[in-house]
Amino acid sequence: MPKLIKAKTALNKITNDYLPYKWDLNIYRGCIHRCHYCYALYSHKYLESDQFFDDIYVKTNIAELLEQKLRSSYWQKSIINLGGVTDSYQPAEADYKIMPEILKVMIKYRNPITISTKSDLILRDYDLIAELARYTAVNVACTIITTDDDTRKIVEPHASPIAQRVSVLKAFQKTKVSTGMHTMPILPYITDQPENFENLFALAKECEVDYVLTEFLNLRSQTRKHFLSFIQTQFPEFYADYLKLYKGWLVDKTYKSKIYTLISSLKAKYRIPKYTDRPVKNFSDQQLGLF
């Protein structure tokens, strides 16, 4: 049963200059999707629990705090990323229904957003998201790292099946929302086969996404321990190779360059637009001032 908490602020400032947004809003702490590569496990460290996948916290006052922030004369309609360290559409959202409140605040203030999810629960809020996209820039991305649902069940056991994520991307393509497929993280020996990449790019083309984002698995802090133990249990045949590829938290450079060559050729073959530092259609601070 999720624990209800009161947040002190709605938004967290992001210091990573490579991201096209500077603010993050997380309704939940923890995430029941249980992706074994999850980079966000560290985010539970200041809580009384270290069970990121099991102990879910709900920030019940977050829409109210967001409204306080957005109505301030200092707020500059910066892009807000919904769910940087948790999935905003994980199963708890079906009960708590906080995203519709957040989206209504965004519509009221015409604030641009980007959402990345692995759940088709986002379709419940289709009309609100499509409405916001009529006023300002909105980006919806689905993470799809494999087209094989049997592999997905092992690696991301509680996230939506691939077909449902595909239906999300296809549905939003009919609106003014820009869409992206996040084929990340790339998991060596599990999702790095050329056929898998070929299938992913063909799928991206079929969904007519505006960009594809690829990134390698990073094994930092708690993620390293959890993921390597997952490999030992589920894919013991790859364990020794993982230790060779991940001497630190980044993947081996030679491996990385080999995979990038393959990905670049597929991007060219399928004519997938490049992921730029601004993935959202018609997105620039100047344009945002015009809305």
Tell me how far, at minimum, the Cβ of 255 lies from ligand SF4, in Å.
22
Q: Which is nearer to ligand SF4, 90 or 175 (CB)?
A: 90
Tell me how far, at minimum, the Cβ of 53 lies from ligand SF4, in Å.
7
Tell me how far, at minimum, the Cβ of 76 lies from ligand SF4, in Å.
28
Binding segment toward ligand SF4, per CB under 6 A, in 31-39, 105-113, 196-204, 236-244:
31-39
Binding segment toward ligand SF4, per CB under 6 A, in 28-36, 104-112, 176-184, 279-287:
28-36
Tell me how far, at minimum, the Cβ of 86 lies from ligand SF4, in Å.
5
Q: What x/- string results for residues 99 through 138 when contact with ligand SF4 is judged by CB under 6 A?
A: -------------------x--------------------
Tell me how far, at minimum, the Cβ of 247 lies from ligand SF4, in Å.
24
Binding segment toward ligand SF4, per CB under 6 A, in 15-23, 32-40, 74-82, 121-129:
32-40
Tell me how far, at minimum, the Cβ of 42 lies from ligand SF4, in Å.
11
Q: What is the DSSP string of 47-101?
A: SS---TTT--EEETTHHHHHHHHHTSTT-----EEE-SSS-TTSTHHHHH--HHH
- Report whether 164 contacts 123 (CB < 8 A): no
Indicate the residue type of 1: M
Tell me how far, at minimum, the Cβ of 108 lies from ligand SF4, in Å.
27
Q: Please select the residue that binds ligand SF4; options are 31, 65, 92, 99, rule is CB under 6 A.
A: 31
Tell me how far, at minimum, the Cβ of 285 lies from ligand SF4, in Å.
28
Binding segment toward ligand SF4, per CB under 6 A, in 35-43, 91-99, 196-204, 209-217:
35-43
**Number of residues binding to ligand SF4, judged by CB under 6 A:** 10
Q: Please select the residue that binds ligand SF4; options are 33, 44, 59, 182, rule is CB under 6 A.
A: 33
Identify residues 38-97 at the interface with ligand SF4 (CB under 6 A): 38, 40, 86-87
- Report whether 82 contacts 129 (CB < 8 A): no
**Region for residue 55 given its phi and psi (left: phi exceeds 0; alpha: psi -120 to 50; beta: otherwise):** beta
Does 181 engage in binding with ligand SF4 (CB under 6 A)?
no
Binding segment toward ligand SF4, per CB under 6 A, in 6-14, 34-42, 67-75, 100-108:
34-42
Q: Which is nearer to ligand SF4, 40 or 138 (CB)?
A: 40
Q: What is the DSSP string of the chain?
A: -PEEE--S-SEEE---TTSS-SEEE-SEES-TT--TT-TTGGGGTTSS---TTT--EEETTHHHHHHHHHTSTT-----EEE-SSS-TTSTHHHHH--HHHHHHHHHHHT--EEEEES-GGGGGGHHHHHHHHHHS-EEEEEE---S-HHHHHHHSTTSPPHHHHHHHHHHHTTSS-EEEEE--SB-TTTT--HHHHHHHHHHHHHHT-SEEE--B----HHHHHHHHHHHHHH-GGGHHHHHHH-SSSSPPHHHHHHHHHHHHHHHHHTTPPPP-S--STT--HHHHHH-
- Write out the residues near ligand SF4 by the rule CB under 6 A: 31, 33-35, 38, 40, 86-87, 118, 159
